[in-house]
Amino acid sequence: MAEIYKRIGEKIRELRLKPENGSMSQETLGEKLGIASNTVSRWETGTYKPTPEDLDKLARLFNVSITVFFPGLPQENSSIAMLASATAGLNTSDLEEVIKYAEFRKVRNTLEFAKRARPKK
């Protein structure tokens, strides 16, 4: 499980330092998220584990899919027709919100599974 948080931390750092994101400091990112800069530092080193809600805030701030933190996350295709039917007629803003919510749920489930799969000490 530690490996997944190491990868998440690397991605947070990568996004934070991207020139198109203003190559922001840990302090600036912390201010934008309403958290301490040392929390950002600890996420990036894998010392602290960001919650799905934290990852959702980061994804929204950097305008990326929450799934960027999980490169190997499988994509489900079995429910595409039902999802298309349910979202037909939504405006762009509402549709984007539905997508972000679905991505959030997928990531939350992945983290919960990883937590359950952790070996007991």
Segment 52-96, tens digit of pLDDT: 999 989 998 998 888 888 877 654 444 666 676 678 788 999 999
Cβ contact 32:57 at 8 Å = no
Give the model's confidence band at 17: pLDDT under 50 very low, under 70 low, under 90 confident, else very high.
Answer: very high
| pLDDT for the residue 81 | 60
**Structural domains in the chain plus CATH codes:** 2-117 (1.10.260.40)
**H/E stretch holding 64:** none
Give the model's confidence band at 35: pLDDT under 50 very low, under 70 low, under 90 confident, else very high.
Answer: very high
The separation between CA 89 and the C-alpha centre of its own chain, rounded to angstroms, equals 27
| Residue 27 to residue 102: CA distance in whole angstroms | 30
Burial 23-40 (b: 16+ CB within 10 A, else e): ebebeebbeebebeeebb
